[in-house]
Amino acid sequence: MIVTTAQLFEHAYGKYAVGAYNINNAEQIMGLFRGNIASEAPFVIQISKGARSYTNKLMLEHMIRAADQIFSDAVFATHLDHGDEQTCYDCIDSGFYSSVMIDASHEPFDENVAITRRVAERAHAKGLSVEAELGQLGGVEEDVSVDEDQANLTDPKQAAEFIERSGCDSLACAIGTSHGAFKFSGGQGLHFEVIEAIHELVPGFPLVLHGSSSVPQDEVERINAAGGALKGARGVDPAQYLPAAKMGVCKINIDTDGRLVWTRVHREFFRDKPEVFDFRPPGKIYMEEYSNFIASRNELLGSAGHLSEVRAALSGEPAGVS
Ligand code: G3H
Ligand code: 13P
Ligand code: ZN
Compute, in angstroms, the gap from residue 115 CA to the centroid of ligand 1.
Answer: 21
HEC states along the chain?
A: CECCHHHHHHHHCCCCCEEEEECCCHHHHHHHHHHHHHCCCCEEEEEEHHHHHHCCHHHHHHHHHHHHHHCCCCCEEEEEEEECHHHHHHHHHHCCCCEEEECCCCCCHHHHHHHHHHHHHHHHHCCCEEEEEECECEEEECCEEECHHHCECCCHHHHHHHHHHHCCCEEEECCCCECCCECCCCCCCCCHHHHHHHHHHCCCCCEEECCCCCCCHHHHHHHHHCCCCCCCCECCCHHHHHHHHHCCEEEEEECHHHHHHHHHHHHHHHHHCCCCCCCHHHHHHHHHHHHHHHHHHHHHHCCCCCHHHHHHHHHCCCCCCC
The pLDDT assigned to 321 comes to 42
Share of the chain above pLDDT 90, in %: 90
The answer, yes or no, to whether residue 144 has pLDDT greater than 60, is no
The answer to whether the CB of 255 is under 6 A from ligand 2 is yes
Q: Does the beta carbon of 214 sit less than 6 angstroms from any atom of ligand 2?
A: no
Q: Say whether pLDDT at 67 is over 80.
A: yes
Q: How far is the CA of 18 from the centre of ligand 3 (A)?
A: 15
Asked if pLDDT for residue 138 goes beyond 80, the answer is no
Interval 188-216 mean pLDDT: 95
CA dihedral 54, 56, 58, 60 (to 10 degrees): -30
Task: Give the model confidence (pLDDT) of 33-54 as tens digits.
Answer: 999 999 999 999 999 999 999 9
What pTM value is reported for the model?
Answer: 0.95
- Given a cut of 90, whether residue 292 has pLDDT beyond it is yes
Q: Whose CA is nearest to atom 4 of ligand 1?
A: 255
Q: How confident is the model at residue 322 (pLDDT cuts 50, 70, 90)?
A: very low
pLDDT at position 294 over 50: yes
| pLDDT greater than 80 at residue 85 | yes
Q: Would you say residue 76 has pLDDT above 50?
A: yes
pLDDT in tens, 238-276: 999 999 999 999 999 999 999 999 999 999 999 999 999
CA of residue 147 to ligand 3 center, whole Å: 15
Q: pLDDT at position 65, please? A: 98
Reported confidence tier of residue 189, pLDDT bands at 50, 70, 90: confident
Q: According to the model, what pLDDT value does residue 185 have?
A: 80
Residue in 68, 73, 81, 93 annotated catalytic? 81
Task: Please report which confidence band the pLDDT of residue 150 belongs to, taking 50, 70 and 90 as the band edges.
Answer: very low
pLDDT value for 318? 60
CB of 79 shorter than 6 A to ligand 2: no
Tell me if residue 110 is catalytic.
no
Q: Ligand 1 centre from 22 Cα, in Å?
A: 7
Please state, in angstroms and rounded to a whole number, the distance separating the CA atoms of residues 52 and 90. 11
What distance in Å separates the CA atoms of residue 105 and residue 212, rounded to the nearest whole number?
A: 18
| Stretch 170-190: mean pLDDT | 90
Binding site membership of 133 for ligand 1 (Cβ less than 6 Å): no
Q: What average pLDDT score do residues 173-188 get?
A: 89
Q: Is the pLDDT of residue 116 over 90?
A: yes
The atom number, within ligand 2, closest to the CA of 139 reads: 2
In this structure, of 110-114, 148-152, 204-208, the range with the lowest mean pLDDT score is 148-152
CB of residue 255 inside a 6 A radius of ligand 1: yes
Residue ID of nearest Cα to ligand 1 atom 8: 50
Centre of ligand 1 from the C-alpha of residue 256, in Å:
8
Mean pLDDT of 130-150: 69
Closest ligand by atom to 260 CA: 2
Residue bearing the bigger pLDDT, 52 or 149: 52
Ligand 1: does its nearest atom lie under 6 Å from the Cβ of 51? yes
The minimum-distance atom of ligand 2 relative to the CA of 213 is: 3
CA 87 to each of CA 74, 80, 140: distance values in angstroms, whole numbers, following the listed order:
27, 8, 19
Chain mean pLDDT for the chain: 94
Question: Does ligand 2 lie within 6 Å of residue 180's CB atom?
Answer: yes
CA distance 141 to 97: 21
